[in-house]
Structure 1
């Protein structure tokens, strides 16, 4: 099932990226390699409907003291734009900890001078499902021609009916040069009831492909 879902994700990413903006990011850290991409495609220019695909993969080094299998997360949604800021999401959420779940959420996005704020509450549509909140703040003030400062803070917390499931905080600090971001990144990860924070620090590369 995991191989099938990953194959579908890759095919969807490749096919959609031919005509739509694609955001890809990789982080080479001290504990694991991290990859993520985001694709959002409108069905047509006049339609409020579209599709969205998000994928995250964390591949832990064999030398890592905390032995962990690769962590995989895939989300595929039918989107419906309600107004300039709000978009309804309905679709499928998958992780190797939860398997496949039907999910729904709503995205609020606000664009401001040199920046973007996005927040997405999401719920599993099932008995004893989880609830989740993700927020992201991105800031890119110009430094000189073709160069901007790049700052991003992204946080997420997921809770089940009885306990905390998963949280993360991702920090990026670097520069944007002609649509490509590069710099230092840190991922802070928390799992289950354990409040211990696992830190992955490294260099990130992010590319916006239009």
Structure 2
């Protein structure tokens, strides 16, 4: 619990120079979730940069020795090249304890206005088992009062290999935003394996754009 409080404090009051770097924590009824996506250019005018993406899931009750779901960690790090204001290509490394380290290549389309964001990101991994993935995100944040916005987000990921489905999720968030801090209610639906075994996690989220 002390570590969670420290993480929350640093999360809310730290500053960074990354370009549009969302950091989110959610305390759900099944697990605690932390995720961030940080992108930085090598310099202000450069089309080259780097990206780091992570997602951590810490379950409150973990009986993996009895067949329960283990805690999860996912890390991605890429060198990036902007082809235009909306298109980017990435190459780097992908890691989870299940897949181990893999070489990964991805493309990204991003469209942003003051009230909405749309991101589509196909990705391919190369290793002992070839996998392919599609990530998508849609955000809507219209103003409802001076300096206050409604915040809504739909985010999904689905990962497959030649053997079938590996892992998918769908995240739903609804709340308010003020001073680049977003908070509200969230639900995540998780699916696992070729049988698409499903679970859900609902709770309170808080998110900051660094």
TM-score (norm 2): 0.87
State how 1:179-194 maps to structure 2 within 5 Å.
179-194=180-195
Instruction: Look up the SS of the partner of 1:44 in the other structure.
Output: coil
Structure 1 unaligned regions, length at least 5: 1-16
Partner in structure 2 of residue 135 of structure 1:
136
Partner in structure 2 of residue 3 of structure 1:
none
Q: Is the 8 A contact 2:165 2:196 kept in 1?
A: no
Partner in structure 2 of residue 14 of structure 1:
none
Q: CA deviation at 1:178?
A: 1.2
CA distance in 1, matches of 2:22, 2:196: 31
CA distance in 1, matches of 2:83, 2:127: 24
Q: Do structure 1's residue 206 and structure 2's residue 207 form an aligned pair?
A: yes
Partner in structure 1 of residue 42 of structure 2:
43
Query: RMSD of the TM alignment (CA)?
Result: 1.7
CA distance in 2, matches of 1:36, 1:66: 25
Partner in structure 2 of residue 9 of structure 1:
none
Structure 2 unaligned regions, length at least 5: 1-14
Q: Do structure 1's residue 196 and structure 2's residue 197 form an aligned pair?
A: yes
TM-score (norm 1): 0.87
CA distance in 1, matches of 2:70, 2:159: 20
Judge which range, 192-201 or 139-148, deviates more: 192-201
Partner in structure 1 of residue 9 of structure 2:
none
Partner in structure 1 of residue 25 of structure 2:
26
CA distance in 2, matches of 1:185, 1:36: 13
CA distance in 2, matches of 1:20, 1:131: 28
Aligned residues: 193
Q: Is the 8 A contact 2:136 2:156 kept in 1?
A: yes
Runs of 4+ in structure 1 off by over 4 angstroms are 63-66
